[in-house]
């Protein structure tokens, strides 16, 4: 484990288990959830683009224990996915991994993660939940979707040519009362509610699915994942 993941500054008892977060996340924290099976350069590029665009102090990668939208039989063990993430962020200042969702019984819903992080980081922290446009367009299917903005702002990544337009359609359909404020480049609701930020980014042609498939076929994935992750995949014999 990277030394910068220690010591832990935030702790909360959740029944018998104990959740811990790095102490130096800062005030403006981006949260990038996903399956990360495995983490790849697309994930790291999104994290970096959002951190720059919104001047965030840190990005917290949160691997899902049981992703609600994916068949669980096909997913690598949480320990492997989290270990690969920790290797991937080890050289990146301001990037951290939370194993928060490993503590949870049942599917990993975003609302539960955001509530837990809010509880751990306190009311002063500004949380930015990062999601792709495709997932955001399906937000009507997410658990407690109206409540999400009580705990965090949303950052929606989309293609440069129609990011704001696509995002605007989803906002209008799901978050009545939100209006676009040009000067801030975001949709805003009532005071105290999180904002919705569109962030345009050229698509990066890499996915975990493609990586798993390449390994199954015996092809190298060293251009798609950090070297430490490629070494881990080989050493553990993953995805063969
Ligand atoms: P899979 O291929 O197994 O479905 P994935 O590569 O899409 O996985 P996830 O772990 O599901 O990876 O993604 C986590 C988050 O990262 C999601 O919000 C997803 O939209 C985003 N993401 C994944 N790949 C990219 C990419 N190439 N460019 C931009 N965002 C990405």
Could you read off the pLDDT of 33-43 as tens digits, one per residue? 999 999 999 99
Residue 84 belongs to domain spanning: 23-203
Question: Is 161 within the bounds of a domain?
Answer: yes
Question: Is 58 within the bounds of a domain?
Answer: yes
Question: Is 190 within the bounds of a domain?
Answer: yes
Instruction: Please state, rounded to an integer, the average pLDDT across all residues of the chain.
Output: 89
The closest alpha carbon to 127, from 66, 195, 176, belongs to 195
Structure confidence at residue 133 (pLDDT): 94
pLDDT tens for each residue of 81-111:
999 999 999 989 999 999 998 877 777 789 9
The residue-averaged pLDDT of 211-227 equals 97
Question: Is 127 within the bounds of a domain?
Answer: yes
Structure confidence at residue 72 (pLDDT): 66
Question: Is 4 within the bounds of a domain?
Answer: no
Question: Is 50 within the bounds of a domain?
Answer: yes
How far apart CA 232 and CA 192 sit, in angstroms, is 43
Q: State the Cα angle at 145 between 22 and 155, rounded to 5°.
A: 55
Structure confidence at residue 19 (pLDDT): 61
Residue 113 has pLDDT above 70, yes or no: yes
Ligand 1 pocket: which of 132, 157, 167 to mutate (most atoms within 8 A of CB): 132
Question: Is 233 within the bounds of a domain?
Answer: no
Residues with CB under 6 A from ligand 1: 34-37, 42-43, 46, 131-132, 135, 157, 204, 206-209
How far apart CA 115 and CA 122 sit, in angstroms, is 10
Ligand 1 pocket: which of 207, 212, 225 to mutate (most atoms within 8 A of CB): 207
Q: How many domains does the chain divide into? A: 1
Residue 15 has pLDDT above 50, yes or no: no
pLDDT tens for each residue of 115-146:
999 999 999 999 999 999 999 999 999 999 88
CATH number at residue 40: 3.40.50.620
Residue with tokens 């320990």: 79
| Closest-lying ligand 1 atom to the alpha carbon of residue 132 | 20
Residue 1 has pLDDT above 70, yes or no: no
Structure confidence at residue 3 (pLDDT): 33
Residue 17 has pLDDT above 90, yes or no: no
Give the contacts of 41 (CB within 8 A, at least 6 positions apart).
Answer: 204, 206, 224, 225, 226
The alpha carbon of 174 is separated from its chain's Cα centroid by a whole number of angstroms, namely 21
Give the contacts of 152 (CB within 8 A, at least 6 positions apart).
Answer: 31, 114, 117, 118, 127, 128, 129, 194
Structure confidence at residue 4 (pLDDT): 33
| Closest-lying ligand 1 atom to the alpha carbon of residue 63 | 10
pTM: 0.90
Question: Is 222 within the bounds of a domain?
Answer: no
């Amino acid at each position: 484990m990277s030394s910068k993941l220690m010591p832990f500054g935030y702790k909360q008892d959740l029944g018998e288990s104990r959740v811990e977060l790095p102490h130096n996340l800062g005030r403006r924290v981006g949260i990038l959830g996903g399956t990360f099976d495995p983490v790849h350069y697309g994930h790291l590029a999104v994290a970096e683009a959002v951190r720059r665009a919104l001047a965030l102090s840190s990005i917290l990668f949160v691997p899902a224990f049981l992703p609600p939208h994916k068949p669980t039989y096909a997913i690598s063990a949480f320990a492997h996915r989290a270990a690969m993430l920790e290797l991937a962020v080890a050289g990146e200042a301001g990037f951290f991994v939370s194993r928060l969702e490993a503590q949870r019984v049942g599917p990993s819903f975003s609302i539960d993660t955001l509530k837990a992080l809010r509880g751990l980081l306190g009311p002063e922290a500004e949380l930015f939940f990062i999601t792709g446009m495709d997932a955001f367009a399906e937000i009507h299917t997410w658990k407690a979707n109206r409540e999400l903005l009580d705990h965090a702002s949303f950052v929606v990544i989309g293609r440069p040519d129609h990011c704001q337009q696509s995002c605007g359609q989803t906002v209008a359909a799901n978050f009545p009362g939100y209006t676009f404020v040009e000067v801030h480049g975001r949709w805003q609701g009532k005071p105290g509610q999180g904002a919705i930020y569109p962030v345009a980014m050229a698509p990066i042609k890499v996915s975990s699915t493609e990586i798993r498939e390449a390994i199954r076929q015996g092809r190298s994935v060293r251009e798609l994942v950090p070297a430490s992750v490629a070494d881990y995949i080989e050493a553990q014999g993953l995805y063969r």
